[in-house]
Amino acid sequence: MSSVVDTAVTLNLWPHILTAHSHIGQALPPSTRQAMMTLVDAHVAEPWHLFHFIYVVENFDSTSLSTANYQKRDPFDRPSEVDAFWQACLTTGFLQANSHGMMQITDKGETVRQQRWQILNDALAEQVLLPGAELAQLNELLTRVVDETAVTTTKASAWAFHTRRQQGLKSPLSPLAPLAQFIELRMDLGAFRDDAHLASWRGPHVVSPHAWEILGEIWQNETATLDELVAKLARRGFSAGETAVALEELFSLGWLRQAQKNYHLTEDGRAVRQTAEQTTNDIFYAPWSVLSPAELEVVRTGLGAFQTMS
């Protein structure tokens, strides 16, 4: 591993990218939030439905949508939850079945996607969370990382990244506001981050996705009860009984121990999860070798400035 990659791993800029994205969302004015909710209310009952629909068609092949393809990138949801989401999209008319036994975006879905982009881009064009020259430089450096990722990986090794880049729907607006450009770069990098994490555990270990996610939750929080895990992962759609089965899976692997109602990782379990995190970072930051140490520092400083100016 090069010294530049070592530096990128040490700086671990991905959490800072996520924080910067969060600050952009928090800075949106009430009028933008109201415009978004008006769009939601015109089509769906829940905001997550519309926004997740847009995420899906921009990160997957919008002409070949299926639960199997969705779970190539996100295997952590119960399949029935994904099926229910598709049904909701069919009901609203955002998607339609096609002759290949899959689903594809409709004209209505594309219109809604364009409307959402217009609302967001107009708002972001008015926001100043970083001086213009600094934001342009940050976007240019992140673009180089994304471009390097594209040429140093393949679809076989980075399915989510290349699917988003090659088949996901792009912004219908040009030019994009610089903050919107940053969000698009963050989404490109997020796809590759998912690829890196999947590679870190699916190759070395035979474990169900639900059990693996539980392992990560306990690793992050040191301890958890069954009720806490069920509540924290409720969005995944698994019952308490199914979560208990996943805990038993971790016990059988020697990665988990129990003290009364609390679950803790064993030394082996902690080592497995820590190794996966290190492997994720090693894969994810490899393309960052296209930047110099000084440029990595520019990225770090720029991301930090989002917080101080928001």
Residues 101 and 233 in one domain: no
Helices 132-152 + 178-202 axis angle, to 10: 30
Q: Which residue from 133, 140, 145, 151 is spatially nearest to 291, judged by alpha carbons?
A: 145
CATH of the domain at 271: 1.10.10.10
Number of helices (H) and strands (E), helices first, in the chain? Answer: 15, 4
Q: Please give the backbone phi and psi of residue 264, each rounded to the nearest 5 degrees, phi first.
A: -130, 155
Q: Which residues of 156-173 are buried (b: 16+ CB within 10 A; e: fewer)?
A: eebbbbbbbbebbbebee
What pLDDT is attached to residue 293? Answer: 94
Q: Decide: 293 and 6 in contact? Cβ < 8 Å.
A: no
Report the pLDDT value the prediction gives residue 310, as an integer from 0 to 100: 54
Convert the pLDDT of each residue in 152-208 to its tens digit: 999 999 999 999 999 999 999 989 999 999 999 999 999 999 999 999 999 899 999
Q: What angle do CA 118, 124, 125 make, to 5 degrees?
A: 90
Same domain, 238 and 116: no
Does 96 share its domain with 186?
yes
DSSP class of residue 105 equals E
Give the model's pLDDT for residue 266.
97
* 70: CB partners within 8 A, 6+ apart: 56, 60, 82
What pLDDT shows up at residue 10? 80
- Which two tokens mark 151? 């040429």
User: Do 130 and 254 belong together in one domain?
Assistant: no
The Cα 161–Cα 164 span in angstroms is 5
The answer on 249 and 132 residing in a single domain is no
Domain shared by 194 and 236, yes or no? no
pTM of this structure:
0.95
Q: Nearest to residue 23, comparing CAs of 145, 173, 130, 134?
A: 130
Distance CA 123, CA 209 (A): 38
Judgement on whether residues 133 and 241 belong to the same structural domain of the protein = no
What is the predicted pLDDT for the residue at 308?
63
Pairing label, strands 95-97, 256-259: unpaired
pLDDT at 309: 60
> Is the CA virtual torsion 20, 23, 25, 27 positive or negative?
negative
Give the chain's domain count. 2
What are the tokens at 215? 């392992």
User: Do 195 and 222 lie in a common domain?
Assistant: no
Does residue 196 share a domain with residue 66? yes
Query: Which stretches of the chain drop beneath a pLDDT of 50?
Result: none
Q: Are residues 157 and 222 in the same domain?
A: no
Question: Same domain for 62 and 97?
Answer: yes
Q: What is the pLDDT of residue 197?
A: 98
Give the residue numbers spanning the domain of 115.
3-202+285-309
| Same domain, yes or no: 291 and 227 | no
Is residue 260 within 8 Å of 224, Cβ to Cβ? no
Provide the pLDDT for residue 100. 87
The dihedrals phi and psi of 64, each to the nearest 5 degrees, come to -140, 55
